[in-house]
Structure 1
Protein backbone atom coordinates (compact mmCIF):
# COMPACT_ATOMS: atom_id res chain seq x y z
CA UNK A 1 0.00 0.00 0.00
CA UNK A 2 1.46 3.38 -0.94
CA UNK A 3 2.10 6.06 1.64
CA UNK A 4 -0.44 8.37 -0.02
CA UNK A 5 -3.15 5.72 0.44
CA UNK A 6 -2.09 5.22 4.06
CA UNK A 7 -2.38 9.00 4.51
CA UNK A 8 -5.99 8.82 3.33
CA UNK A 9 -6.73 6.18 5.96
CA UNK A 10 -5.02 8.33 8.60
CA UNK A 11 -7.26 11.21 7.50
CA UNK A 12 -10.31 8.99 8.07
CA UNK A 13 -9.11 8.48 11.66
CA UNK A 14 -9.22 12.22 12.31
CA UNK A 15 -12.40 12.80 10.30
CA UNK A 16 -14.23 10.10 12.30
CA UNK A 17 -12.86 11.28 15.65
CA UNK A 18 -11.24 7.93 16.44
CA UNK A 19 -8.48 9.63 18.42
CA UNK A 20 -8.88 12.53 20.86
CA UNK A 21 -6.70 14.77 18.68
CA UNK A 22 -3.49 14.81 16.71
CA UNK A 23 -1.48 15.81 19.79
CA UNK A 24 -2.71 12.81 21.78
CA UNK A 25 -0.22 10.05 22.45
CA UNK A 26 -0.68 6.99 20.28
CA UNK A 27 -0.07 4.86 23.40
CA UNK A 28 -3.25 6.32 24.95
CA UNK A 29 -5.45 4.79 22.25
CA UNK A 30 -3.44 1.70 21.28
CA UNK A 31 -2.27 -1.36 23.13
CA UNK A 32 0.90 -1.80 21.08
CA UNK A 33 4.28 -2.49 22.66
CA UNK A 34 5.95 -0.51 19.86
CA UNK A 35 4.44 2.77 21.10
CA UNK A 36 4.04 1.96 24.80
CA UNK A 37 5.93 4.36 27.03
CA UNK A 38 6.68 6.79 24.19
CA UNK A 39 5.49 10.34 23.59
CA UNK A 40 4.79 9.57 19.93
CA UNK A 41 1.57 11.36 18.99
CA UNK A 42 -0.94 10.71 16.24
CA UNK A 43 0.55 13.78 14.56
CA UNK A 44 4.05 12.26 14.52
CA UNK A 45 3.07 8.93 12.92
CA UNK A 46 1.70 10.16 9.55
CA UNK A 47 4.13 13.09 9.45
CA UNK A 48 7.10 10.68 9.68
CA UNK A 49 8.48 12.61 12.65
CA UNK A 50 7.98 9.91 15.32
CA UNK A 51 11.69 9.27 15.78
CA UNK A 52 10.68 5.72 16.68
CA UNK A 53 13.54 3.27 17.08
CA UNK A 54 13.10 -0.45 17.33
CA UNK A 55 12.29 -3.57 15.36
CA UNK A 56 9.11 -4.31 13.46
CA UNK A 57 8.65 -7.72 11.86
CA UNK A 58 12.35 -8.36 12.36
CA UNK A 59 13.45 -5.18 10.55
CA UNK A 60 15.26 -2.45 12.50
CA UNK A 61 14.15 1.17 12.17
CA UNK A 62 17.70 2.21 11.23
CA UNK A 63 17.68 -0.04 8.14
CA UNK A 64 16.67 2.84 5.85
CA UNK A 65 19.11 5.40 7.22
CA UNK A 66 21.19 6.53 10.15
CA UNK A 67 19.78 6.26 13.64
CA UNK A 68 18.52 9.59 14.98
CA UNK A 69 18.11 10.70 18.58
CA UNK A 70 14.55 9.34 18.66
CA UNK A 71 12.90 12.50 20.01
CA UNK A 72 9.38 12.65 18.50
CA UNK A 73 8.88 15.75 16.39
CA UNK A 74 12.57 16.66 16.23
CA UNK A 75 13.17 15.65 12.61
CA UNK A 76 11.40 14.37 9.54
CA UNK A 77 12.71 11.15 8.08
CA UNK A 78 11.03 8.85 5.58
CA UNK A 79 11.54 5.32 6.75
CA UNK A 80 9.69 2.22 5.49
CA UNK A 81 9.74 0.57 8.91
CA UNK A 82 8.10 3.65 10.45
CA UNK A 83 5.49 3.71 7.66
CA UNK A 84 4.80 0.09 8.58
CA UNK A 85 4.44 1.20 12.22
CA UNK A 86 1.79 3.70 11.11
CA UNK A 87 0.00 0.95 9.17
CA UNK A 88 0.13 -1.35 12.19
CA UNK A 89 -1.25 1.41 14.42
CA UNK A 90 -4.09 2.16 11.97
CA UNK A 91 -4.92 -1.53 11.59
CA UNK A 92 -5.17 -1.91 15.37
CA UNK A 93 -7.24 1.26 15.68
CA UNK A 94 -9.78 0.09 13.06
CA UNK A 95 -9.55 -3.56 14.07
CA UNK A 96 -9.41 -4.70 10.46
CA UNK A 97 -7.35 -4.58 7.28
CA UNK A 98 -6.77 -1.12 5.81
CA UNK A 99 -8.06 -2.03 2.31
CA UNK A 100 -11.49 -2.75 3.84
CA UNK A 101 -11.42 0.68 5.51
CA UNK A 102 -10.72 2.24 2.10
CA UNK A 103 -13.57 0.28 0.56
CA UNK A 104 -16.03 1.43 3.22
CA UNK A 105 -15.02 5.08 3.51
CA UNK A 106 -13.59 5.96 0.07
CA UNK A 107 -14.25 3.52 -2.76
CA UNK A 108 -17.78 2.53 -1.70
CA UNK A 109 -19.13 6.08 -1.40
CA UNK A 110 -17.53 6.93 -4.75
CA UNK A 111 -19.00 3.87 -6.41
CA UNK A 112 -15.47 2.92 -7.37
CA UNK A 113 -13.78 -0.45 -7.58
CA UNK A 114 -11.42 -1.42 -4.78
CA UNK A 115 -9.14 -3.37 -7.12
CA UNK A 116 -6.35 -0.87 -6.52
CA UNK A 117 -6.16 -2.04 -2.91
CA UNK A 118 -6.54 -5.70 -3.76
CA UNK A 119 -9.65 -5.92 -1.62
CA UNK A 120 -12.12 -6.81 -4.37
Structure 2
Protein backbone atom coordinates (compact mmCIF):
# COMPACT_ATOMS: atom_id res chain seq x y z
CA UNK A 1 0.00 0.00 0.00
CA UNK A 2 1.07 3.57 -0.69
CA UNK A 3 -0.64 6.59 0.85
CA UNK A 4 0.04 10.29 0.43
CA UNK A 5 -1.68 13.04 2.32
CA UNK A 6 -3.70 10.36 4.05
CA UNK A 7 -5.20 9.16 0.76
CA UNK A 8 -4.63 5.76 -0.84
CA UNK A 9 -2.53 6.05 -4.01
CA UNK A 10 -2.07 2.36 -4.79
CA UNK A 11 -2.49 -1.09 -3.31
CA UNK A 12 -1.97 -4.63 -4.50
CA UNK A 13 -2.44 -8.06 -3.00
CA UNK A 14 -4.74 -8.82 -0.10
CA UNK A 15 -4.17 -5.80 2.12
CA UNK A 16 -6.63 -7.01 4.77
CA UNK A 17 -5.02 -10.42 5.33
CA UNK A 18 -3.56 -10.71 8.81
CA UNK A 19 0.05 -11.78 8.22
CA UNK A 20 3.00 -12.35 10.54
CA UNK A 21 4.82 -9.04 10.88
CA UNK A 22 7.95 -10.15 12.81
CA UNK A 23 9.96 -7.24 14.27
CA UNK A 24 7.52 -4.50 13.30
CA UNK A 25 6.00 -5.54 16.63
CA UNK A 26 9.00 -3.83 18.27
CA UNK A 27 7.77 -0.45 17.04
CA UNK A 28 4.35 -1.16 18.55
CA UNK A 29 6.14 -1.84 21.85
CA UNK A 30 7.81 1.57 21.53
CA UNK A 31 4.38 3.16 21.21
CA UNK A 32 3.12 1.22 24.24
CA UNK A 33 6.09 2.57 26.19
CA UNK A 34 5.02 6.05 25.13
CA UNK A 35 1.53 5.40 26.47
CA UNK A 36 3.10 4.35 29.79
CA UNK A 37 5.08 7.61 29.84
CA UNK A 38 2.01 9.66 28.93
CA UNK A 39 0.05 7.94 31.71
CA UNK A 40 2.76 8.56 34.31
CA UNK A 41 3.49 4.85 34.72
CA UNK A 42 7.08 5.69 33.80
CA UNK A 43 8.33 8.89 35.35
CA UNK A 44 11.63 9.15 33.51
CA UNK A 45 12.93 6.84 30.79
CA UNK A 46 16.40 7.21 32.29
CA UNK A 47 15.33 5.68 35.59
CA UNK A 48 16.30 2.05 36.30
CA UNK A 49 13.54 -0.33 35.20
CA UNK A 50 13.94 -2.25 38.46
CA UNK A 51 12.46 0.69 40.36
CA UNK A 52 9.04 -0.22 38.95
CA UNK A 53 9.34 -3.90 37.98
CA UNK A 54 9.59 -6.20 41.00
CA UNK A 55 11.38 -9.54 41.16
CA UNK A 56 14.82 -10.87 40.30
CA UNK A 57 15.16 -9.66 36.68
CA UNK A 58 16.84 -6.38 37.66
CA UNK A 59 18.09 -7.38 41.11
CA UNK A 60 21.86 -7.72 40.61
CA UNK A 61 24.35 -4.88 40.28
CA UNK A 62 24.68 -5.16 36.48
CA UNK A 63 21.00 -5.49 35.57
CA UNK A 64 20.05 -2.94 38.20
CA UNK A 65 21.59 -0.22 36.02
CA UNK A 66 19.36 -0.99 33.01
CA UNK A 67 17.00 1.88 32.17
CA UNK A 68 13.95 2.14 29.93
CA UNK A 69 16.05 4.09 27.42
CA UNK A 70 18.56 1.25 27.27
CA UNK A 71 15.84 -1.29 26.46
CA UNK A 72 14.31 0.99 23.82
CA UNK A 73 17.66 1.67 22.13
CA UNK A 74 18.78 -1.97 22.47
CA UNK A 75 21.83 -0.99 24.50
CA UNK A 76 20.81 -2.56 27.83
CA UNK A 77 23.36 -5.41 27.87
CA UNK A 78 20.91 -7.09 30.27
CA UNK A 79 21.96 -10.62 31.15
CA UNK A 80 19.57 -13.41 32.01
CA UNK A 81 16.82 -15.56 30.58
CA UNK A 82 13.29 -14.81 29.42
CA UNK A 83 10.82 -17.63 28.86
CA UNK A 84 13.54 -20.22 28.38
CA UNK A 85 15.76 -18.13 26.08
CA UNK A 86 19.06 -16.68 27.40
CA UNK A 87 20.27 -13.29 26.22
CA UNK A 88 23.32 -15.06 24.75
CA UNK A 89 21.18 -16.44 21.93
CA UNK A 90 21.41 -13.06 20.18
CA UNK A 91 24.97 -12.12 21.13
CA UNK A 92 26.99 -10.91 18.12
CA UNK A 93 23.80 -10.49 16.08
CA UNK A 94 23.85 -7.79 13.41
CA UNK A 95 20.95 -6.36 11.42
CA UNK A 96 22.41 -4.49 8.46
CA UNK A 97 22.99 -4.99 4.74
CA UNK A 98 25.41 -7.89 4.14
CA UNK A 99 25.82 -8.40 7.89
CA UNK A 100 28.07 -11.25 9.02
CA UNK A 101 26.12 -13.25 11.61
CA UNK A 102 28.46 -16.24 11.62
CA UNK A 103 29.25 -15.65 15.32
CA UNK A 104 25.64 -15.12 16.39
CA UNK A 105 25.01 -16.88 19.69
CA UNK A 106 28.66 -16.96 20.74
CA UNK A 107 29.12 -15.70 24.27
CA UNK A 108 30.90 -12.36 24.47
CA UNK A 109 31.93 -10.13 27.33
CA UNK A 110 29.14 -7.79 28.32
CA UNK A 111 29.64 -4.03 28.39
CA UNK A 112 28.16 -1.50 30.77
CA UNK A 113 24.42 -0.88 30.18
CA UNK A 114 23.93 1.96 27.72
CA UNK A 115 27.32 1.70 26.03
CA UNK A 116 26.89 -1.04 23.40
CA UNK A 117 24.20 -1.64 20.77
CA UNK A 118 23.03 -5.15 19.97
CA UNK A 119 19.81 -6.28 18.28
CA UNK A 120 18.59 -8.76 20.87
CA UNK A 121 15.06 -10.19 20.92
CA UNK A 122 15.39 -11.61 24.43
CA UNK A 123 15.94 -8.12 25.80
CA UNK A 124 13.05 -6.74 23.75
CA UNK A 125 10.85 -9.43 25.30
CA UNK A 126 12.09 -8.18 28.65
CA UNK A 127 10.79 -4.71 27.77
CA UNK A 128 7.42 -6.21 26.85
CA UNK A 129 7.23 -8.09 30.16
CA UNK A 130 8.23 -4.94 32.04
CA UNK A 131 5.44 -2.95 30.35
CA UNK A 132 3.00 -5.72 31.25
CA UNK A 133 3.95 -5.19 34.89
CA UNK A 134 3.12 -1.50 34.56
CA UNK A 135 -0.20 -1.75 32.74
CA UNK A 136 -1.21 -4.92 34.62
CA UNK A 137 -3.29 -6.04 31.67
CA UNK A 138 -2.45 -7.76 28.36
CA UNK A 139 -0.57 -5.40 26.06
CA UNK A 140 -2.68 -6.34 23.00
CA UNK A 141 -5.74 -5.14 24.94
CA UNK A 142 -4.02 -1.84 25.73
CA UNK A 143 -2.92 -1.15 22.16
CA UNK A 144 -6.33 -2.18 20.80
CA UNK A 145 -8.20 0.14 23.19
CA UNK A 146 -5.82 3.10 23.08
CA UNK A 147 -4.54 3.00 19.47
CA UNK A 148 -6.06 0.51 17.05
CA UNK A 149 -9.78 0.95 17.73
CA UNK A 150 -9.61 4.78 17.72
CA UNK A 151 -7.87 4.78 14.31
CA UNK A 152 -10.48 2.45 12.84
CA UNK A 153 -8.29 -0.64 12.55
CA UNK A 154 -9.91 -3.98 11.82
CA UNK A 155 -10.69 -6.66 14.38
CA UNK A 156 -8.58 -9.19 12.46
CA UNK A 157 -5.18 -8.49 13.95
CA UNK A 158 -3.79 -10.46 16.89
CA UNK A 159 -0.67 -10.54 19.04
CA UNK A 160 0.19 -13.79 20.81
CA UNK A 161 2.94 -14.84 23.18
CA UNK A 162 4.69 -18.17 23.69
CA UNK A 163 3.18 -21.25 25.25
CA UNK A 164 5.41 -20.63 28.28
CA UNK A 165 5.03 -16.83 28.52
CA UNK A 166 1.94 -16.88 30.72
CA UNK A 167 2.54 -14.97 33.95
CA UNK A 168 0.53 -13.91 36.98
CA UNK A 169 0.35 -10.23 37.86
CA UNK A 170 -1.74 -9.07 40.81
CA UNK A 171 -3.50 -12.42 40.84
CA UNK A 172 -4.44 -12.27 37.15
CA UNK A 173 -3.05 -14.72 34.58
CA UNK A 174 -2.00 -13.09 31.32
CA UNK A 175 0.38 -13.69 28.43
CA UNK A 176 3.50 -11.64 27.79
CA UNK A 177 3.89 -10.96 24.05
CA UNK A 178 7.15 -10.88 22.06
CA UNK A 179 8.66 -8.15 19.94
CA UNK A 180 9.19 -10.52 17.02
CA UNK A 181 8.42 -14.01 15.81
CA UNK A 182 11.62 -15.97 16.46
CA UNK A 183 10.29 -18.59 18.82
CA UNK A 184 6.56 -18.60 18.17
CA UNK A 185 3.82 -16.12 18.85
CA UNK A 186 4.08 -12.68 17.31
CA UNK A 187 1.84 -10.05 15.79
CA UNK A 188 -0.40 -10.98 12.86
CA UNK A 189 -1.88 -7.96 11.12
CA UNK A 190 -2.99 -6.65 7.73
CA UNK A 191 -1.26 -4.04 5.59
CA UNK A 192 -4.26 -1.73 5.88
CA UNK A 193 -4.03 -1.72 9.69
CA UNK A 194 -0.27 -1.09 9.50
CA UNK A 195 -0.98 1.86 7.20
CA UNK A 196 -3.37 3.41 9.71
CA UNK A 197 -0.81 2.94 12.47
CA UNK A 198 1.88 4.54 10.29
CA UNK A 199 -0.40 7.45 9.46
CA UNK A 200 -1.04 8.08 13.16
CA UNK A 201 2.71 8.21 13.76
CA UNK A 202 3.26 10.54 10.79
CA UNK A 203 0.52 12.83 12.11
CA UNK A 204 2.26 13.16 15.46
CA UNK A 205 -0.10 10.96 17.45
CA UNK A 206 -3.22 12.94 16.51
CA UNK A 207 -6.17 11.20 14.81
CA UNK A 208 -8.88 13.50 13.50
CA UNK A 209 -8.31 15.94 16.32
CA UNK A 210 -8.05 13.32 19.07
CA UNK A 211 -4.69 13.02 20.83
CA UNK A 212 -3.75 9.33 21.16
CA UNK A 213 0.00 9.67 21.76
CA UNK A 214 2.06 12.70 22.67
CA UNK A 215 4.04 14.47 19.97
CA UNK A 216 6.94 14.60 22.40
CA UNK A 217 7.08 10.83 22.56
CA UNK A 218 7.07 10.44 18.79
CA UNK A 219 9.92 12.96 18.57
CA UNK A 220 11.80 10.90 21.18
CA UNK A 221 11.21 7.62 19.31
CA UNK A 222 12.69 9.08 16.16
CA UNK A 223 15.68 10.82 17.73
CA UNK A 224 19.07 9.38 16.79
CA UNK A 225 20.49 7.14 19.50
CA UNK A 226 24.05 7.65 20.69
CA UNK A 227 25.34 4.17 19.86
CA UNK A 228 23.56 3.43 16.56
CA UNK A 229 23.08 6.28 14.06
CA UNK A 230 20.19 4.62 12.20
CA UNK A 231 18.21 3.59 15.28
CA UNK A 232 15.86 5.39 17.64
CA UNK A 233 13.47 3.76 20.12
CA UNK A 234 12.77 0.45 18.34
CA UNK A 235 12.32 2.36 15.05
CA UNK A 236 14.81 2.55 12.21
CA UNK A 237 16.01 5.93 10.92
CA UNK A 238 17.27 6.78 7.45
CA UNK A 239 20.54 8.03 8.90
CA UNK A 240 24.16 6.90 9.08
CA UNK A 241 26.23 4.77 6.69
CA UNK A 242 23.37 2.42 5.80
CA UNK A 243 20.90 5.17 4.88
CA UNK A 244 19.06 5.06 1.57
CA UNK A 245 20.65 8.03 -0.19
CA UNK A 246 17.63 8.44 -2.46
CA UNK A 247 15.38 9.17 0.52
CA UNK A 248 15.40 12.08 2.99
CA UNK A 249 17.17 11.77 6.33
CA UNK A 250 13.87 12.44 8.05
CA UNK A 251 12.36 9.16 6.80
CA UNK A 252 11.72 6.50 9.45
CA UNK A 253 10.52 2.93 9.28
CA UNK A 254 9.38 -0.08 11.24
CA UNK A 255 11.00 -3.23 9.89
CA UNK A 256 10.47 -6.96 10.22
CA UNK A 257 11.91 -10.07 8.61
CA UNK A 258 10.42 -11.12 5.31
CA UNK A 259 10.44 -7.61 3.87
CA UNK A 260 7.69 -6.37 6.20
CA UNK A 261 7.97 -2.61 6.51
CA UNK A 262 6.07 0.55 7.39
CA UNK A 263 7.93 3.36 5.63
CA UNK A 264 7.15 6.94 6.67
CA UNK A 265 8.41 9.80 4.48
CA UNK A 266 7.46 12.85 6.51
CA UNK A 267 8.66 15.36 3.92
CA UNK A 268 6.28 13.98 1.30
CA UNK A 269 3.54 12.99 3.81
CA UNK A 270 3.81 9.50 2.36
CA UNK A 271 3.29 6.08 3.96
CA UNK A 272 4.21 2.78 2.31
CA UNK A 273 3.57 -0.69 3.69
CA UNK A 274 5.33 -3.68 2.18
CA UNK A 275 4.82 -7.39 2.91
CA UNK A 276 7.21 -10.16 1.83
CA UNK A 277 9.37 -7.83 -0.24
CA UNK A 278 12.84 -9.38 -0.72
CA UNK A 279 15.29 -7.36 1.38
CA UNK A 280 17.57 -6.80 -1.60
CA UNK A 281 14.69 -5.16 -3.46
CA UNK A 282 13.75 -2.72 -0.70
CA UNK A 283 16.24 0.06 -1.63
CA UNK A 284 15.04 0.03 -5.24
CA UNK A 285 11.41 0.07 -4.13
CA UNK A 286 12.12 3.15 -2.00
CA UNK A 287 14.06 4.79 -4.83
CA UNK A 288 11.14 4.34 -7.21
CA UNK A 289 8.71 5.52 -4.54
CA UNK A 290 10.71 8.72 -4.06
CA UNK A 291 10.96 9.25 -7.82
CA UNK A 292 7.22 8.79 -8.26
CA UNK A 293 6.22 11.30 -5.59
CA UNK A 294 7.35 14.18 -7.79
Indicate which of 23, 27, 30 corresponds to 1:7: 30
Report the CA distance shift for 1:72/1:15 in structure 2 as closer, same or farther (over 3 A): same
Alignment-derived partner of residue 29 in structure 1: 52
Gaps of 5+ in 2: 1-21, 93-107, 161-294
Residues 109-118 or 5-14, more deviating? 109-118
Task: State the TM-score, normalizing by the size of structure 1.
Answer: 0.87
* Count of residue pairs brought into register by the alignment: 119
Report the CA distance shift for 1:78/1:68 in structure 2 as closer, same or farther (over 3 A): farther
Q: In the alignment, does 2:94 pair up with 1:44?
A: no
Q: Distance in 2 between matches of 1:47 and 1:53?
A: 16
Deviations 1:20-69 (A, max 9, x none): 11111111111132122411111111111111011111211011124342
- Specify the SS of the correspondent of 1:20: coil
Q: Once the 2 structures are TM-superposed, how far is the Cα of residue 86 of structure 1 from its aligned partner? A: 0.7
- Highest CA radius of gyration, 1 or 2? 2
Q: Distance in 1 between matches of 2:141 and 2:78?
A: 27
Alignment-derived partner of residue 137 in structure 2: 96
Q: Once the 2 structures are TM-superposed, how far is the Cα of residue 8 of structure 1 from its aligned partner? A: 1.3
Q: CA RMSD in A?
A: 1.8
Q: Once the 2 structures are TM-superposed, how far is the Cα of residue 111 of structure 1 from its aligned partner? A: 2.9
Gaps of 5+ in 1: none
Alignment-derived partner of residue 229 in structure 2: none
Report the CA distance shift for 1:102/1:114 in structure 2 as closer, same or farther (over 3 A): farther
Greater share of strand: 2
Alignment-derived partner of residue 87 in structure 2: 61
After the TM superposition, list the runs of 4 or more consecutive aligned residues in structure 1 that deviate by more than 2 angstroms.
Answer: 111-119
Q: In the alignment, does 2:140 pair up with 1:117?
A: no
Greater share of helix: 1
Q: Once the 2 structures are TM-superposed, how far is the Cα of residue 10 of structure 1 from its aligned partner? A: 1.2
Q: Distance in 2 between matches of 1:70 and 1:93?
A: 27
Task: State the TM-score, normalizing by the size of structure 2.
Answer: 0.38
Q: Distance in 1 between matches of 2:155 and 2:59?
A: 34
